[in-house]
Structure 1
Amino acid sequence: EYALQLQEKQKAKFIYGVLEKPFRNYYEKADRMKGMTGENLMTILESRLDNVVFRMGFARTRREARQVVDHKMFLVNGKSVNIPSYLVKAGDVIEVREKSKSLQRFKDITEVTAGRTTPEWVDVDAESLKGTVKELPNREQIDVPVDEMLIVELYSK
């Protein structure tokens, strides 16, 4: 049972590219929030800036999203943000910086990710490389194969 719980936690950490300490902090924050801890945890992980950039189709992988955010290529509500773990809120506008829009990298990425469907909780304008977070996702809108209840059971011991 413990091995199964640990495996789920490790899977979630690997998918989102989060280390142990921040993951633990996300769990504790989710535990303090109203509602179910597991669903809150998944919502927090999904609302990280690097994940939102990936979901919008501005990066091929979450690791690439983390890198482009790290290189100050994105603006959140008009301000430059280079922290991949920045938690976006409903209504935030995320766009590629004007200087970065002309880079070949984004032309290639938009070609590769053009066929990928974006989740319904984000609104994306691929032409202007801009997107809006309409609402924070609920568990049904998150298509990550993780059983968050096992993670909650692991941490609540």
Structure 2
Amino acid sequence: MARYTGPTSKIARRFGEPIFGPDKALQKKAYPPGFHGKNKRRRKVSEYGTQLAEKQKAKFTYGLLERQFHNLFLTASRKKGVTGEILLQLLEARLDNVVYRLGIAPTRAAARQLVSHCHIVVNGNVVNIPSYTLKPSDLVGVREKSKSLVAIADSLQGVRPGRYSWLEWDGAAMVGKFLNFPERADIPENIKEQLIVELYSK
């Protein structure tokens, strides 16, 4: 499936947040991108524009395209509970996101590549589908043949155990456990999910 491969700094500057990780460009140019730079007179954003921007930010943050994101929203809307919170929980339960959260990869894009190249196992079986949705108690680990990869070893050096309450990590075995779907207060992403719900509800 197609993926956004353009400049990430430009996208981060558009939203004014380091959605792809630490970015020096945000410090040097703390204003949206554009030909006229910070001197450009910008129109007041409409309610629809605000909602659309929030959806776009969520899509770029988790690395989904429009159809995939919309289908995930439809799944969330069919479940009992607060739709916006369930949407974020489903995003957090994606295999590529969990690989990133566990520290096996430094970014979600890198995590997606590891999954696609069959370096990740779920409950002992190789899974090469980044959008695979994990269930509570699922075990996510590095394939035995891939444990010596330099990229994985370098990424795991900065792992801080217990960083996320819904995940467990066994550094010796290179295996993590998806304990449960996280509560909204525990998800660190700065996303106003209610705006996304309002946009899709129109």
Structure 1 runs of 4+ aligned residues shifted over 6 Å read none
RMSD: 1.1
Distance 2:86 2:74 in 1: 10
- The equivalent residue for 1:90 is 136
Aligned 1:6-45 pairs, distance under 5 A: 6-45=52-91
> Which runs of structure 2 are paired with 1:105-120 in the superposition (5 Å)?
105-111=151-157, 113-115=158-160, 118-120=163-165
**Does the Cα contact within 8 Å between 2:58 and 2:191 map onto a contact in 1?**
yes
| Deviations 1:76-107 (CA, angstroms, capped at 9, x unpaired) | 01111000000001000001000000122222
Equivalent residue, structure 2, for 1:99: 145
Alignment of 1:41-52 (within 5 A): 41-52=87-98
Encode CA deviations 1:50-82: one digit per residue, 9 max, x unaligned.
000001110100110010011100110111100
DSSP 3-state at the match of 1:45: helix
* Counterpart amino acid of residue 129 in structure 2: I
State the SS of the aligned residue for 1:120.
coil
1:102 alignment partner, SS class = coil
Give the 5 Å matches for 1:47-58: 47-58=93-104
Partner Cα separation in structure 2 for residue 114 and residue 28 of structure 1: 34
Q: With the length of structure 1 as denominator, give the TM-score of the two structures.
A: 0.96
Tell me which residue corresponds to 2:167: 122
How many Å apart are 1:117 and its aligned residue?
Answer: 5.8
* Higher-helix-fraction structure: 1
Structure 1, 142-151 or 116-125: larger mean CA deviation: 116-125
Structure 2 residue aligned with 1:145: 190
Higher relative contact order structure (alpha carbons within 8 Å, sequence separation ≥ 6): 1
Structure number with larger C-alpha Rg: 2
1:65: which partner in 2?
Answer: 111
Tell me by how many angstroms 1:110 deviates.
1.2
Measured against aligned partners, the alpha-carbon deviations of 1:108-133 in whole angstroms (never above 9, x if no partner) come to 1112x335863110000122211001
Q: 1:80: which partner in 2?
A: 126
Percent identity between matched residues is 50
Instruction: Report if aligned partners of 2:139, 2:177 keep a CA contact under 8 Å in 1.
Output: yes
> What are structure 1's unaligned runs of at least 5 residues?
none
Q: Which runs of 5+ in 2 are unaligned?
A: 1-46
Distance in 2, matches of 1:128 and 1:66, equals 21
**Aligned with 1:72: secondary structure?**
coil
User: What is the TM-score when the length of structure 2 is the normalising length?
Assistant: 0.75
- How far did 1:45 drift? 0.5
